[in-house]
Amino acid sequence: MPQDFSRRSFLQLSSAASAALAMRIVTEPMLAFGQRPKASRDAIWINANENPLGPCASARDAVAAITPQGGRYRFNLTEEFVKQFAQSVGVTGENVRIFAGSTEPLHYTVMAFTSPRASYVTADPGYEAGMHSAKSSGARIVKVPLTKSYAHDVKAMLAAAPDAGVFYVCTPNNPTGTLTSRSDIEYLLEKKPKGSIVLVDEAYLHFSDAPSTIDLVKAGKDIIVLRTFSKLYGMAGLRCGFAIARPDLLQKIENYGGGNPMPVTAVAAAAASLKDANLVDERKRINTANREETFQWLDHNGYSYIPSVSNCFMLDTKRPAKEMIAAMAQQNVIIGRVWPAMPTYSRITVGTREEMEKFQAALQNVMNGKVTVGTLCPDPRTIDGFVLPS
Ligand SMILES: Cc1ncc(COP(=O)(O)O)c(C=O)c1O
């Protein structure tokens, strides 16, 4: 009967829709802008760990030059770049997979290696995207507090999850900007349960002096390393990232997604960025200078923060941090979100020197009581109509 048919297809459709919703990939911009207060475009945006410098000059030129070829897939361009990238990190092409950013391989890795029987183990506070993916896979989510020095507590992570599928280690950590030592990562690899993997997110590594763990891929360990061009290279809006691992681990990730042709603009920009021999040092120097100047100012004024080696840090606002976010927004300075484990802290992204000066002036106004609490956007969990999973 037509009526039955339409009811059945509605049910099928709605269950397909809820399955699709459950698989939704959650990204840093969704999380960052999901809590954004009302603000104008000309505000100071230091809430999403973006790089205010954007792509380097040669990357911009490369984008302009490749754009006329944007009607073609240009797979060979991607293949050449993958080889270039692999070489730059000391592995071969079979150890790397390219994606439009590192969000995708993060999600696919969690989907591939966690399940209701294989838990997802992460730091608290830590980058939340993988936890949302673990909800999709039905895995138990194990949040383990950082140590006193804000490193991942690898011993506690191991003890908390003998059933682990994925140990997620973000170093420097988002949001604290603090490192987990290589020896701790090696310890985790040595002691972890059989069949599990260590997922090392090196999104912010370039800002620090820490060594990469990519050589552990070469050594054949159960490790997947994530890299992105969104941070130091300033390509968050252009989208390029990598998973680096043993071929058999990459194969498992690929069962969940990948292989989508890359935007030629992203490939051209990333290839040009890698060729710029001074870029990493130069940008690291700029970020370090702006971050350390901000820390000196905070010290001088007696304000508390967690020292960081990254492009973000946690500021202790000494009040519910949401109040500080609103009061700063009143002054057109948009600072980052709050983690439940640290309710008085807000994550501050290191911006340009001018941006950090405006941040300082606005913060001083709130701390002096010249500006008081403002209003947050009505539903801080929505972003452009998309309701964030709770
Ligand atoms: C720790 C971490 N990993 C991964 C990502 C994903 O970035 P993208 O998809 O832009 O490469 C982000 C974004 O902010 C991040 O903070």
Q: How far is the CA of 228 from the centre of ligand 1 (A)?
A: 7
Which residue's C-alpha comes closest to atom 6 of ligand 1?
A: 103
What's the pLDDT tens digit per position in 190-231? Answer: 999 999 999 999 999 999 999 999 999 999 999 999 999 999
Distance 72 CA to ligand 1 centre (A): 28
Residues with CB under 6 A from ligand 1: 28, 49, 101-103, 106, 127, 170, 174, 201, 203, 228, 230, 236, 241
Mean pLDDT of the chain: 90
Assign 33 a pLDDT band (cuts: 50, 70, 90): confident
Mean pLDDT of 229-244: 98
Alpha-carbon distance of 62 to 198, in angstroms, equals: 35
CA-proximal residue: ligand 1, atom 12 (nearest): 28
Distance of CA 202 from the midpoint of ligand 1 (Å): 9
Residue 383 — very low, low, confident or very high, per pLDDT cuts 50/70/90? very low
Q: Provide the pLDDT for residue 362.
A: 97
Interval between CA 102 and ligand 1 midpoint (Å): 6
Residue 390 pLDDT grade (very low, low, confident, very high; cuts 50, 70, 90): very low
Question: Which of 49, 97, 103, 226 has most ligand 1 atoms within 8 Å of CB, for mutation?
Answer: 103
Cα(5) to centroid(ligand 1), Å: 44
The atom number, within ligand 1, closest to the CA of 204 reads: 1
Taking the CA of residue 229 as reference, the ligand 1 atom at the shortest distance is: 11
SS3 351: coil
| Strand extents, DSSP E, 131-216 | 141-145, 164-170, 197-201
- In SS3 terms, 290-332 reads as HHHHHHHHHHHCCCEEECCCCCEEEEECCCCHHHHHHHHHCCC
Q: At what angle do helices 279-300 and 353-367 cross, to 10 degrees?
A: 20
Q: Give the number of the atom of ligand 1 that is nearest the alpha carbon of residue 48.
A: 14
> Which pTM was predicted?
0.91
Query: Residue 149 — φ and ψ, nearest 5°?
Result: -95, 15
Which helix H or strand E contains 265, and what residues bound it? helix 264-275
Is the confidence at residue 354, as pLDDT, over 90?
Answer: yes
- Letter for the amino acid at 80? E
| Ligand 1 atom with minimal separation from the 241 CA | 11
- Asked if pLDDT for residue 19 goes beyond 90, the answer is no
Name the band, by pLDDT with cuts 50, 70 and 90, for residue 258.
confident
The closest-lying atom of ligand 1 relative to the alpha carbon of residue 32 is 14
Q: With cut-offs at 50, 70 and 90, classify the pLDDT of residue 375.
A: low
Centre of ligand 1 to C-alpha 178, Å, is: 16
Mean pLDDT of 103-125: 98
